Amino acid sequence: MTADQDMYASSTETTEGRVFTVSGQDWDQIAEGLAEDDSDRIVVNMGPQHPSTHGVLRLILELEGETVTEARCGIGYLHTGIEKNMEFRSWVQGVTFCTRMDYLSPFFNEATYSLGVERLLDIEDQVPEKADVMRVLLMELNRISSHLVAIATGGMEIGALTVMTVGFRERELVLDLFELITGLRMNHAFIRPGGVAQDLPPGALDEIRAFVALMRKRLPEYAALCNANPIFKARLENVGTLDLEGCVALGLTGPVLRSTGYPWDLRKSEPYCGYETYDFDVQTWDTADSYGRFRIRLNEMWESLKIVEQAADRLAGLEGAPVMIEDKKIGWPSQLAIGSDGMGNSLDHIRHIMGESMEALIHHFKLVTEGFRVPAGQAYVPVESPRGELGAHVVSDGGTRPFRAHFRDPSFTNLQATSVMSEGGMISDVIVAIASIDPVMGGVDR
């Protein structure tokens, strides 16, 4: 090896052919090396640390020139054993783990798990109304923040950096609301079996209304920037197409399915948390391509704003109503309060259990150390996450910990369409097709 050669970007001979390790500024070496080969066939290993693969996703692309003849996904780089870990914690603690799976839509992870546990406990009718409204409010705000990231990173991956900066600008406003309501920007563990962890803090409704008003001004900016933008349309239109039959066979749901014109939305078809009482429309498009999925996400944000407004109006009339189930054997007793040094234990609650009520202390102790028991059986209550059908298969053996919790994550299922969406197209369109699926690798690998 001579001094001007990069020791990390060398080529090696293997039984499969010559392998190049690309590390940048070494195109001359690769071009020279390939010139010796008479075949046009190249296998490119893209990722798992590539900035345009939408996360730690590895793509194995077989190319003829610039055309993709075969595309395969390598996943698992973000597998953290969340489902296994949940088997060693109590039912309530499970929320803390599953919220971290699909990190762009934490409330949906918590909601589908909590709904499954509630069905097994047979307490679906006892969840207070205010908890349901707060769940809907948080999920719809979360849908907006998730779609903003989908549009923002999708734009960034095709080089539209302004779309990225405006998308993250608005997303930050949603995360500020989450911080105000739950105390955390992400990984909230806020929706729990039996209700939600906290009541709405004072002033939250005003902040939410201000956000909705601001978003109504800002969302048209996205439409003005992208909808008719010739470059944007040229990159997205007729790219990553998948028709209804393909979607159903491959189990695709969410914006990808709705971009075929089929209005399938679990909020309408199998309403949960009282979605049937809100006024909103299911958004569809008829092009079955990446552009249609972009427009659906944009339109769904408008619908989510409508739901958020309705939820805020209901919450205004529910001041002081309970947010956790009445049953003292299930409802998490501990309360947090904002003190001078941030969020911490509620002194009122400590005074109550330590000084006023022996029963409250016992319930607190039993629930925090042992947790509650869930009758044996299994449940599956899917929700419509920003990416499609998200469901938790919750299995109990009657104990204080989940016997098995398996998440049917829409990113995992939808990513299977990578091959069919990108084979036969250009390599640059692979990026667009994957961005239109909007997979979140935390959810894919769990």
Partner 1 sequence: MSGDEPGKAPDQRAVDESPENAPATLDPEVRAVGARHGMFGTKGSGDTSGYGGLVQPVVYPGLARRPLDGWHEEVASALDAALAAAGVSDAVEGIVVHRGEITFHVRRDGLPAVARALRDDPSLRFEVLSGVSGVHYPDDKDRELHAVYHLLSMTWNRRIRVEVAVPDADPHLPSVVATYPTADWHERETYDMFGLVFDGHPALTRILMPDDWPGRPQRKDYPLGGIPVEYKGGTVPPPDQRRSYN
* Contact residues: partner 1, CB under 8 A: 75-76, 79, 81, 83-85, 87-89, 119-120, 122, 248-253, 264, 269-270, 369-371, 376-380, 382, 389, 391, 393, 395, 397-401, 403-404, 406, 408, 412-413, 415-416, 445-446
Q: Please state, as a whole number, how many other Cβ atoms lie within 10 Å of the Cβ of residue 1.
A: 7
Query: What is the rounded (10 degree) CA torsion for 430, 433, 436, 439?
Result: -60
SS3 84: helix
Q: Answer for the pair 328, 126: CB distance below 8 angstroms, yes or no.
A: no
Burial of 361-398, coded b for 16+ CB within 10 Å and e otherwise, reads eebbeebeeebbbbeeeebebbbbbbbbbbbbbbbbee
Identity of the residue, 300 or 445, whose beta carbon is nearer to partner 1 in the bound complex: 445
Identity of the residue, 164 or 421, whose beta carbon is nearer to partner 1 in the bound complex: 421
Identity of the residue, 166 or 392, whose beta carbon is nearer to partner 1 in the bound complex: 392
Identity of the residue, 270 or 423, whose beta carbon is nearer to partner 1 in the bound complex: 270
Q: Residue 262 and residue 255: Cα distance in Å, rounded?
A: 10
Extract the tokens encoding 281.
Answer: 């429309």
Report phi then psi at 37, rounded to 5.
Answer: -85, 135
CB 101 → partner 1: shortest distance, Å? 13
Q: Residue 35 and residue 33: Cα distance in Å, rounded?
A: 5
Identity of the residue, 232 or 407, whose beta carbon is nearer to partner 1 in the bound complex: 407
Q: Answer for the pair 22, 8: CB distance below 8 angstroms, yes or no.
A: no
Report phi then psi at 32, rounded to 5.
Answer: -60, -45
Q: Residue 365 and residue 348: Cα distance in Å, rounded?
A: 17
Identity of the residue, 155 or 410, whose beta carbon is nearer to partner 1 in the bound complex: 410
Identity of the residue, 340 or 369, whose beta carbon is nearer to partner 1 in the bound complex: 369
Identity of the residue, 67 or 126, whose beta carbon is nearer to partner 1 in the bound complex: 126
Q: Answer for the pair 269, 242: CB distance below 8 angstroms, yes or no.
A: no
CB 252 → partner 1: shortest distance, Å? 8
SS3 234: helix
Identity of the residue, 62 or 87, whose beta carbon is nearer to partner 1 in the bound complex: 87
CB 407 → partner 1: shortest distance, Å? 9
Spatial CA neighbour of 170 closest among 106, 215, 221:
215
Strand partners, 62: 43, 70
CB 374 → partner 1: shortest distance, Å? 11
Identity of the residue, 8 or 88, whose beta carbon is nearer to partner 1 in the bound complex: 88
Identity of the residue, 87 or 207, whose beta carbon is nearer to partner 1 in the bound complex: 87
Q: Residue 106 and residue 95: Cα distance in Å, rounded?
A: 10
Q: Residue 416 and residue 252: Cα distance in Å, rounded?
A: 9
CB 180 → partner 1: shortest distance, Å? 32
What is the DSSP secondary-structure string of 384-439? EETTEEEEEEEEE-SSSS-SEEEEE-HHHHHGGGHHHHHTTSBHHHHHHHHHHH--
Among the residues of 79-105, which ranges form H helices?
A: 82-86, 93-98
CB 369 → partner 1: shortest distance, Å? 8
CB 399 → partner 1: shortest distance, Å? 6
